[in-house]
Structure 1
């Protein structure tokens, strides 16, 4: 996956616009939830907090990616995004647990909830999400960061629809238990997304093979390059979202044109697998045995 350096400033500008819109409405939802007594609004505000965090991380990652490396940080500051994602995921999981516990208590003793204000805030939230989606849609397929931000806002639009349904139900029927029920649904949605985020962050920190790649397939493709007799000590990992790295020992026959082999391998890794950062060590060997480890 490649970052388009020319579009990076535009991506960051649009992310900051959406971040401002989303963050402002999140505050409105918190105030609205406290004034109306709606736990569903507070739960949706927590859901929007995941959007704010994801958008912040995406904008932060774009900014950090532009910073040069230093002698003591040869990869620069790319991993800051992953660390922030892991911390953010842990906080959001605790928030979701609190909402579920509070919803359980409220289900048996449902407090009065102002249905009309809840309904109106839900409609405003949906409008805010639709505007944010429009801002991001032109860059939706450029990078993993932008794509994940787009999906965050899209899922929050679905959550806003839940708040609208809750407000309408309370307004028309006066059935207050719908509020904690919706809160649990929104919280479970937060847990599902947050657990996926935490799993990805841990996988990256453990230097696992990027989920979009198959190490065996990469190794076999490298062995198929003319002049390559074998590949061993193959390692593939993610530095940060959209930036994967690879290292390997490449076995070639004695007398083989090393530069040509390296050029073909680097082109293969770049064009077919989207790996720009590859460290390859040539090992000459007389054996005809092909090996992929």
Structure 2
């Protein structure tokens, strides 16, 4: 029996220090503005601003986690953490989701009663905060748009969502300055919060599945299996397991049954074919075991 251990690594950002600085800068900017939002939401008596503050709190946690993990990701694997530290991001995602779910529940508990007894918010204050919100989040998104890392690209989308949210607050505040329609504030708040809950719940479920080591992408798993089975000299693919360290960096193990016994030279050639077949899947770690045609798999049948 022979085994092939191929360890590939996804390319890192060519300028990791610059990436960390950009994320750190946006984190402190977003954190400061989140504090301003909570204070502003309380002063203006606006549940819409409070709901957006909860959204920004989640983004602040995500940005902070990304900043820390951007640094931890550079640490080499140890005996205790043989796959490195990428999986720690799942804990960050779990904490962020729970905080956002709790915050959203609080906002809904405040906003829903106001539907039946709406209170007129301070429209002028809302307008000022909305302009500040569009400016701050837009500038932060612009700063991150220069980044090439996956972390930066994902966070940039979050910030662009915030910009759209503040545009909504801006429009409502202008309407309230000319028409006394206080119910628009809780309606906007509930809409924001439900949008957050839907997305957070989806991410929370995905995180739970990754903790349980589910296959991150069923189609990807099938494509990998087909690519391996199509290699000349391979009779059967079994015990194929695809799981993910953090939702982005995947790990593969598989047993390949050979059509015939191979000498060492032929095995090396086959391993090159396997590496070529798997190369475009960009797997973080791969472990492939080769089995002779009449060999009984020690892990049993599927």
CA drift of 1:242 comes to 2.4
RMSD between superposed Cα atoms in Å: 2.0
Q: For residue 104 of structure 1, what is the aligned residue in structure 2?
A: 112
1:51 corresponds to 2:67: no
Among candidates 63, 66, 71, match of residue 71 of structure 2: 63
Change (3 A) 1:103 1:4: same
Question: CA deviation digits over 1:236-287, x for unaligned, max 9?
Answer: 01012421110011222202522222222123222x2111310111112159
Deviation at 1:5, TM superposition (A): 4.0
Aligned to 2:224: 218
Give the alignment partner of residue 245 of structure 1, picking from 245, 248, 251: 251
* Aligned mates of 1:151, 1:61 — CA distance in 2: 18
| Bigger relative contact order, structure 1 or 2 (CA pairs below 8 A, ≥6 apart) | 2
Segments of 5+ residues of structure 2 without an aligned counterpart are 1-8, 296-301
Residues 75-117 of structure 1: per-residue CA shift (max 9 Å, x gap): 2322211012112212211211221121111122222311011
Alignment equivalent of 2:208, drawn from 202, 208, 212:
202
Query: 1:70 is paired with a residue of what secondary structure?
Result: coil
Q: Structure 1 unaligned segments of length 5 or more: list them.
A: 288-292
Q: Return 160-169 or 179-188, whichever deviates more.
A: 160-169
Residue 261 (structure 2) pairs with residue 254 (structure 1): yes
Could you say what secondary structure the match of 1:273 adopts? coil
The 4+ residue runs of structure 1 with deviation greater than 4 A are none
Give the secondary structure class of the aligned counterpart of 2:231: coil
Count of matched residue pairs: 286
Matches within 5 A, 1:174-189: 174-189=180-195
